[in-house]
Chain A
Amino acid sequence: MKQNSSKNGSIVAGCDVGSLTSKAVIFDGKRILSQKIIRSKPRPEESARNVMGDALALAGLSPEQIEYCVGTGYGREKIPFVNETVSEIRCHARGAKWLLPTAETVIDIGGQDCKTMKINRDGEVERFMTNDKCASGTGRFLEVMARTLGIGIDELGSHTRLAKSPVTLAAACAVWAQADVVQYLNNGVSVEDIGAGINTAMASRVAILVNALKPEGDILMTGGVARNQGVVSTLEKLVGRKIKKTRKADPQLAGAIGAACIAFMKTQNKGAEK
């Protein structure tokens, strides 16, 4: 804690090893000192080491300078260097609270699942719902579809705005939807019209979970899919409410930020309980 140190001197980290990407955040209780997102490796240990190594290097810190580290995500049990692991549901709730203090409802769309939760004043989860093992309604769905269209995943978001007559994807299943997409391509439908249909299909799946939770207060969307404007705007229509975004940090980092917030809280409670 030589440099970059905050007033009370604690520097902590959050590490979120997801199915598609791994995220790390170095945090001093107020500011994010550094952050890193990488593509997950086959082994969660490796993803965790790489992403945390990069984040530390960016902050100019050594592992010993991290007072407490919380791990989360699907690979959390396998992260070698964490002090504690916490479920991604709770981490996303805490992260959302940090990103938008007025948030009461959180929608997180990750690589292989989709969660919606209601959070209380302290950022703790009051109720949550998750999709079940199925790729539609997850980041993986968009990724597969973008690949089928031959475009980058970040391009997909603008298609809802650019489309002239968006297609309808009949199937709620990612595999069948992909077959639909190929069919539309063969019929010469424009990539934008298909892309808009993909965003709508995705938003419809997510809306089921959101509406089942009966959202209240400010809704914040986190996870990589929050960057897809097409999905967000369609979801707003389907849910009938405005969905807030955050500029404070990349929404994809919410889980890692939440983990870091919990880590910081640990250093503040009853001294360092390491």
Chain B
Amino acid sequence: MNFFHKAASSLDVPEIIDWKKSGKKIVGYTCSYLPPELFYAAGVLPVRLRGVETDGLDIGDAYYGPFVCSYPKRILQLAGKGRYNFLDGAVITPGCDAMRRLDECWRKAGDDHPGILPGFFHFFDAPHKDEAHGFAWFVEEIRSLMEKIREYFGVEITEERLLEAIQLYNRGRRLLSDLEALRCNPAPPVSGADAFAAVLAGSVTPRDLYTRALEKWIAQLDSEKTDYRNRKRLMLVGSVNDDIELVRLMENDSGALVVAENLCFGVRAAGGLVAETGDPVEALARRYLGESICPRMFGKYSERLARLKETIQQHRVDGVVMQNIRFCDLHGAENALFERDLEKIGVPCLRIEREYGPLVETGRIKMRIGAFIERIQTR
């Protein structure tokens, strides 16, 4: 568990440091629509970019302005302070408009703060629709990224290597499905914070080490050793979150347990398997673009609602906490729709707005979540 918590809560991940020391390359990426398998296949460590451990926003605010989500701002803040100087490359994806601007803002900040822009800096586009033309475009984006990797890092991504990477990532996905099944149990063997840390760690650590650690950890989970049977069961959804403390805040001394989530950085990104037959690039495209679970994908609300309802049922969820980072239009709007449609069928919902970053609004958030749990308990 320490392996996961360490990786999930800090930028100084021992496994990343070891990787760097051995002379191998590292690339940061911003979005769950980028297939990290590509980098793994090239022998480059893909690390999901985060904004943890920031203590100010002077650089982030300078390039972004005030009315923008604090998540990309905090990534830029860390980059500006040189915390991401260990990266050999970065890939920016327009997950949403604020994330798209990270490309421009980071480039501009690179002029003013020399040395913070990685040598390999790539814009990986992802369409907002998965229809035929969008799919063809996305396949093209993947192939062009592979070509850029070959040019810059001098590594050819062969079909064989790519398939190996796909198989390894799929193994992790199956393990995460096992973990999710355990969380459906009336007495889950794991807290929401631990489960979230275990998933999150996969986005920043070498995948082979991670998969082994995950396998070992899941094998020893045991409901007999925990006492989560009589807790109120919560689900956490909404804007990007990579802060285990937010999950802890919901669970500690509250009589509640987080038994499910639908978050970028969470199991949602783990998602379905990539086909291991046929053209691996197309298989990746089908899995990554076909995952319509992020509200960035147009015309897929009813699919997302159906999946949410399914999870609520399977995980026996008593209430859904919907958070959105201030100025997050995608999740702000989506949460309002979810609330409307879930309350209608008797699922209690709580919407909260928060800032991304070190949890500073604990009093405000805890009061709301506390009252929400009371509402569920007195039903």
Contacts and interface: CB of A to CB of B under 8 A. Distances in A.
Given A74-B363, A124-B375, A124-B378, A87 B370 contact: yes
Contact of A128 (B353, B363, B375): B375
B17 interface: no
Nearest to B343: A127
Interface string B342-379: 01000000000100000001011001101100110010
A89 B371 contact: yes
Contacts of B374: 86-87, 89-90, 125
A130 interface: yes
10 contacts: A74-B367, A87-B371, A89-B367, A90-B371, A124-B375, A124-B378, A125-B374, A126-B375, A127-B375, A128-B375
Nearest to B361: A133
A263 to B, nearest CB: 15
Given A87-B367, A122-B378, A132-B364, 16 more contacts: A74-B363, A74-B367, A87-B370, A87-B371, A87-B374, A89-B367, A89-B371, A89-B374, A90-B374, A124-B378, A125-B374, A127-B343, A127-B375, A128-B371, A128-B375, A132-B353
Interface in A109-128: 113, 122, 124-128
A125 B368 CA distance: 12
Nearest to B349: A127
A125 B367 contact: no
Which of A74, A87, A89, A126 lies at the interface centre, i.e. has the most chain B CB atoms within 10 A of its CB?
A87
B375 A125 contact: yes
A67 interface: no
A89 B370 CA distance: 9
A130 B374 CA distance: 16
A86 B371 CA distance: 8
A133 B371 contact: no
Nearest to B336: A212
Top 3 closest A-B pairs, CB basis? A89-B371, A87-B371, A87-B370
A113 B371 CA distance: 14
* Majority secondary structure of chain B interface residues (helix, strand, loop or mixed): helix
Interface residues of B, number: 12
Which of B343, B361, B371 lies at the interface centre, i.e. has the most chain A CB atoms within 10 A of its CB?
B371
Contacts of B371: 87-90, 125, 128
Interface string B148-165: 000000000000000000
Interface in A211-247: none
A73 to B, nearest CB: 9
Contacts of A128: 371, 375
A106 B293 CA distance: 37
Contacts of B368: 89, 130
A89 B364 CA distance: 12
Contacts of B361: 133
Nearest to B253: A77
A124 B375 CA distance: 7
A237 B361 CA distance: 34
Nearest to B339: A127
A92 B353 CA distance: 22
A125 B373 CA distance: 11
Contacts of A132: 353, 364
Contacts of B375: 90, 124-128
A234 to B, nearest CB: 26
A113 B343 CA distance: 24
Interface in B301-355: 343, 353
B284 to A, nearest CB: 40
A124 B370 CA distance: 14
A87 B363 CA distance: 11
A125 B376 CA distance: 9
Contacts of B378: 90, 122, 124-125
Contacts of B363: 74
A133 B364 contact: yes
B44 to A, nearest CB: 41
Contacts of A87: 367, 370-371, 374
B367 A88 contact: yes
A173 B227 CA distance: 46
Contacts of A133: 361, 364
A252 B368 CA distance: 20
A88 B366 CA distance: 11
Interface string A123-142: 01111101011000000000
A128 B343 CA distance: 13
Contacts of B367: 74, 87-89
Nearest to A120: B378
B368 to A, nearest CB: 6
A113 B370 CA distance: 16
A213 B367 CA distance: 19
Nearest to B354: A132
B346 to A, nearest CB: 12
B115 to A, nearest CB: 36
Contacts of A130: 368
B255 to A, nearest CB: 12
Interface in A68-117: 74, 86-90, 113
A113 B378 CA distance: 24
A112 B361 CA distance: 13
Contacts of A74: 363, 367
Contacts of A127: 343, 375
Interface in B205-234: none
B51 to A, nearest CB: 19
B153 to A, nearest CB: 45
A125 B374 CA distance: 8
Nearest to B355: A133
Which of A88, A113, A130 lies at the interface centre, i.e. has the most chain B CB atoms within 10 A of its CB?
A130
Interface in A161-213: none
Contacts of A88: 367, 371
